[in-house]
Amino acid sequence: MTKLIHDIGGLTREPGVVRAFVPTMGALHQGHLDLVDASRALVGPGGQVIVSIFVNPTQFGNETDVSQYPRTLESDFAQCEASGVDIVFAPSVSEMYPGGTQTSQYVSVQPGPLGSILEGVDRPGHFAGMLTIVAKLLNLVQPNFAAFGEKDYQQLALISHMVQQLNFPVKVVGVQTRREPDGLAMSSRNTFLIPEQRTEAASISRALFAAQAVEGNIDAKLSAARDALSAQITTSYLVAMTPDLSRELVGTENATQGRILFAGLLGSTRLIDNVPLGGVNPDE
Ligand code: PAF
């Protein structure tokens, strides 16, 4: 039976139980349930899988974005129950930020240089808010494993850095992006797309797959991607980077390992996606 917990006190860990943790902001889809399945595979039937559902205000740019984020706790809980989750932790904002959510009111985790590229350019403060809540949740849940989707590749890289550099005793696990039949990466934001936009959105994954398929240098790959993108999408970035995002791959480089990352606006909805540079990366 799945337990629904709203208070931090309910998370107390029984000794000897292996825990895997899936932090989410709710509006769950199959991509989240893949994280749950990967978590169950890690801890086995005797372990605990914990899902948190918390729309974290400190990682949003403004109040409107936070208030418009879908909140679907009842159906999220039902999906967790059907997937064999042991505990759903759905705290209130005041439970997580008792001193308030203004940056002057709480201690935060700063992302360092990796936080100011790609998503960090258009979303200042986003990664500090995201890392802060993930750090708090990891400290509360004290899991052995924590699973995150590769769809938010920069987020995954930053959480891996935080865990390594701040010595959190948890293993971070990345899980492959789940896609709709037409290739669009699953995301809670897809629900904001009107039907015509939803059709155009599929050009993002087509573009990334086109780049992957090109047997050439980085320029050739990125140019194939640009050609496949819908004209209705305004690109924020379309870049190739090393797998750890420490360096942009450019021009005539013939790299075999890396990631192609995209972000853009379709109407007012920001969509992101990424793929390994040449199909499956042996080191990822
Ligand atoms: O990816 C998300 O849903 C959020 O950024 C996370 C990791 C749950 C932190 O709020």
pTM: 0.96
Question: What digits encode the pLDDT tens for the residues 49-66?
Answer: 999 999 999 999 988 889
Q: 23 to each of 55, 214, 223, how far by Cα in Å? A: 10, 35, 36
pLDDT at 60: 95
For each of the domains in the chain, give its residue range(s) and CATH number, in order of start: 3-175 (3.40.50.620), 188-276 (3.30.1300.10)
DSSP secondary structure letter of residue 118: T
Residue corresponding to tokens 């709203």: 6
- Per-residue pLDDT at 281 exceeds 60: no
Atom of ligand 1 nearest to the CA of 52: 8
Question: What digits encode the pLDDT tens for the residues 246-278?
Answer: 999 998 888 889 999 999 999 999 999 999 998
pLDDT at 279: 64
Question: What digits encode the pLDDT tens for the residues 77-101?
Answer: 999 999 999 999 999 999 999 999 9
- Per-residue pLDDT at 284 exceeds 80: no
- Residues in contact with ligand 1 by the CB-under-6-Å rule are 23-25, 56, 59, 130, 133-134, 152, 155
Nearest CA to ligand 1 atom 6: 24
Question: What digits encode the pLDDT tens for the residues 5-52?
Answer: 999 999 998 899 999 999 999 999 999 999 999 999 999 999 999 999
Select from 33, 130, 139 the residue to mutate for testing ligand 1; criterion: most ligand atoms less than 8 Å from CB.
Answer: 130
| Rounded Cα–Cα distance for residues 137 and 283 (Å) | 28
Nearest residue to 118 via CA among 163, 153, 159: 153
| Rounded Cα–Cα distance for residues 249 and 260 (Å) | 9
- Tell me if 217 sits within 8 A of 251, measured CB to CB: yes
Task: Look up 32 and say whether it is catalytic.
Answer: yes
- How far does residue 141's CA lie from ligand 1's centre (Å)? 15
Question: What digits encode the pLDDT tens for the residues 97-153?
Answer: 999 999 999 999 999 999 999 999 999 999 999 999 999 999 999 999 999 999 999
| Rounded Cα–Cα distance for residues 218 and 278 (Å) | 11
Name the catalytic one among 6, 29, 32, 161.
32
- How far does residue 196's CA lie from ligand 1's centre (Å)? 28
Nearest CA to ligand 1 atom 8: 24
pLDDT at 186: 98
- Tell me if 66 sits within 8 A of 55, measured CB to CB: yes
Amino acid type, 145: F
- How far does residue 181's CA lie from ligand 1's centre (Å)? 24
